[in-house]
Homo-oligomer: A and B are copies of this chain.
Amino acid sequence: MSVTTPAGFRAAGVTAGLKASGNPDLALVINDGPSKAAAAVFTSNRVAAAPIHWSRQVLSDGRVDAVVLNSGGANACTGPEGFQNTHVTAEKVADELGISATDVAVCSTGLIGEQLPMDKILPGVEAAAAALAHDGGAAAAAAIMTTDTVPKEAAWTSAPNGDGISYSIGGMAKGAGMLAPGLATMLVVITTDAAVETEALDVALRDAVRVTFNRADSDGCMSTNDTVLLMSSGAVGAFPDMAEFTAGLTEVCAKLARALIADAEGASHDIAITTLNADSERDAEVVSRSVARSNLFKAAIFGNDPNWGRVLASVGTTDAVFDPDKLNVSINGVQICRNGGIGDSRDLVDLKPREVTVEIDLAAGDASATIWTNDLTHAYVEENSAYSS
């Protein structure tokens, strides 16, 4: 279950020497076709890294032949020299693979504000090109890790169609938002051997990302480098039903997003904050996200404290439709706030398990949304105060 699960893709992960640890730090994924259709979603941060500017250009014609990813350096806030380094990296990939540089996407992750060591990147690209393999997905997933403790991969396979043909979707990811500290960034590469045109890929990807990666909000910090890239090889010759394809893609994205939260740096709890009975899905998302961004709430969960007052205080800062006297809040199934006031005993709530569920009932409609986040821990503060000094 990786980016090489779908037919038509090869991948590699090698050690270019960017990381002091000597761990693998450069990955390459190539689409052998016949289709080269691709779609991507990039960070909305206006301070975007050089590889974001480059890859946006590459995606503008909906074709990607290969993507090269490095950990150990974000290449963000690095000016014209940084952009030139991204360009040279893409050219090197193109030379090695006999393709056009304008069809090579580039992703980087690491410390902001430092130039990449090109004397290590370029030999690394050569090594990765030589190592490309049909079973290289796992090596690629390992090479994009920064402070991730485990590689993150997922795959999904469709039921056979009328001709007995199944297609699959595979993916890899690293880093939860900017939780993985200056080694910032969420990078995701997803592949499929179904034959899907660029425009349909784009619609499916945006649908899937909206309800998965965009609802994983570990620490509210948006990276300069976030990229989710989807590539279709069409190698199995299946032209999928797009509703089915989108459902499969959403499942892969959801698994990867859940894996990011589960491995978020310093976290001791994974928290699913679901807002129910909202007037609109937008309201439900806004309310869940406001709680996900409350340091007081997140610190309370770290302390195994079912502090529903901090949930209500966050809900109250939003413009969602609700009556404060009709709010109900449950934590791990215990309704500790009823009609905006005191409910069942907080002593009934067991917060020792890593997974925590918070349900906020707005009593204002029938829409709902879940945001995943983490608790605020000593380890988070430690990791994020110490990494670059």
Interface residues of A (CB under 8 A from B): 44-48, 74, 76-79, 82, 111-115, 178, 181-182, 184, 219-224, 293-296, 299-300, 302-305, 307-310, 312-318, 322, 324-325, 327, 337, 339-342, 376-378, 380-382, 384-386, 388-389
Q: Is the CB of A299 within 8 A of B385?
A: yes
Take A47-B313, A381-B376 as given contacts and tell me if A295 and B219 are in contact as well, using a CB distance cutoff of 8 Å. Answer: yes
Q: Which are the 6 A-B pairs with shortest beta-carbon distances? A: A112-B309, A303-B385, A47-B316, A299-B384, A79-B341, A45-B316
Q: A220-B293, A221-B296 are in contact. List 7 more A-B contacts (CB 8 A).
A: A45-B313, A76-B313, A113-B309, A181-B296, A182-B310, A305-B386, A376-B384
Are A79 and B222 CB-contacts (below 8 A) given A184-B313, A299-B380, A384-B295? no
| 23 cross-chain CB contacts under 8 A | A45-B317, A47-B315, A47-B316, A47-B324, A48-B316, A76-B309, A76-B312, A76-B313, A77-B342, A112-B313, A114-B342, A182-B309, A182-B310, A220-B293, A221-B310, A221-B314, A222-B317, A295-B380, A296-B384, A304-B389, A307-B388, A378-B381, A378-B382
Question: Across the interface, do B312 and A112 meet the contact criterion of CB distance under 8 Å?
Answer: yes
B220 x A113 contact (CB < 8 A): no
Shortest Cβ gap from A63 to chain B (Å)? 27
Closest B residue to A299 by beta carbon equals: B384
B224 contacts A316, C-beta separation under 8 Å: yes
Nearest B residue to A351, CB-CB: B389
Tell me how far the C-beta of A305 lies from the nearest C-beta in chain B, rounded to whole angstroms.
4
Q: A341 to B49: give the CA distance in the assembly, Å.
A: 11
**A339 CB contact (under 8 Å) in B79, B115, B381, B386:** B79
Cβ-neighbour of A377 out of B381, B388, B389 (below 8 A): B381
- What distance in Å separates the Cβ of A124 from its nearest Cβ neighbour in chain B? 23
Please give, as numbers and ranges, the residues of chain B lying within 8 Å of A178 by CB-CB distance.
Answer: 296, 313
Cβ contacts under 8 Å, A293 to chain B: 220
Min distance, Cβ A113 to any Cβ of chain B, angstroms: 5
With beta carbons under 8 angstroms apart, the residue of B77, B113, B221, B303 that contacts A386 is B303
Across the interface, A313 reaches (CB within 8 A) one of B224, B304, B310, B337, namely B224
